[in-house]
Amino acid sequence: MFKRTIVAVAGALALAACGNTSTTVTPATPASSPAASAASFNDADVMFAQMMIPHHRQAVRMADLAATRAADPEIKELAGRIKAAQDPEITTLTGWLTAWGEPVEAPMHHGMPGMLSDDDMARLGAAQGAAFDRLFAEQMIAHHEGAIEMAETERSDGRDPAAKALAKEIAEAQKAEVAQLRKILERI
């Protein structure tokens, strides 16, 4: 009986809301208004976020492999930093796309700069020790160079200030990591 009463009251309220002819408009806050959000981003911002998510996911998978396969302590340490930086960036990028009303997954990822093929990932996953270290460094350099390219495109073509700021951070961090990886390659 109690459930029927609640359902009846809820239904009556819903019908009453549909019949409301009041002209009072409650302004939306800028953060939640689709129109305000739409003005803060463009297609370049969307593409940056949609492409960087799978790119970062692959880098995190590569870093996860280093935890058990790398022999060089500097490779392990760098891989840990990569994972620690990119996991939260994936969350941020996903949040932006959701707030912008855009799909998280881009329609196509073919030709994304720096992405490793399935064969490349399989070779990395099969390598151990010093062979893993060399392959990880070489592949992560190429991977990072692709991310830097995408970040620089966002910096020049994007509109959203937060996305452009993240792109700057990504480019700077990954340029430093590429330099570190090149030094590791000289040493190992």
Confidence tier at 84 by pLDDT (50, 70, 90): very high
Pairwise pLDDT comparison (77 vs 28), residue with the higher score: 77
Beta bridge partners of 70: 129
Domain range annotation of the chain: 39-100+118-187
Distances (CA, A) of 118 to 9, 92, 97: 57, 26, 26
Q: What average pLDDT score do residues 81-101 get?
A: 98
Q: What is the pTM of this model?
A: 0.78
**Range with the poorest average pLDDT among 63-67, 84-88, 103-107, 145-149:** 103-107
Pairwise pLDDT comparison (135 vs 33), residue with the higher score: 135
Reported as a single tens digit per residue, the pLDDT across 31-55 is 433 443 456 999 999 999 999 999 9
Q: How far apart are CA 140 and CA 106, in angstroms?
A: 22
**Range with the poorest average pLDDT among 16-20, 39-43, 73-77, 79-83:** 16-20
Confidence tier at 112 by pLDDT (50, 70, 90): confident
What average pLDDT does the structure give for the chain? 84
What is the distance in angstroms between the CA of the first residue and the CA of the last residue of the chain? 76
Pairwise pLDDT comparison (12 vs 78), residue with the higher score: 78
pLDDT at 107: 67
Q: Which two tokens stand for residue 128?
A: 């151990």
Beta bridge partners of 175: none
Asked if the model's pLDDT at residue 113 lies above 90, the reply is no
CATH classification (class only), 39-100+118-187: mainly alpha
Asked if the model's pLDDT at residue 106 lies above 90, the reply is no
Nearest residue to 137 (alpha-carbon basis) of 188, 171, 61, 85: 188
Q: What average pLDDT score do residues 121-134 get?
A: 98
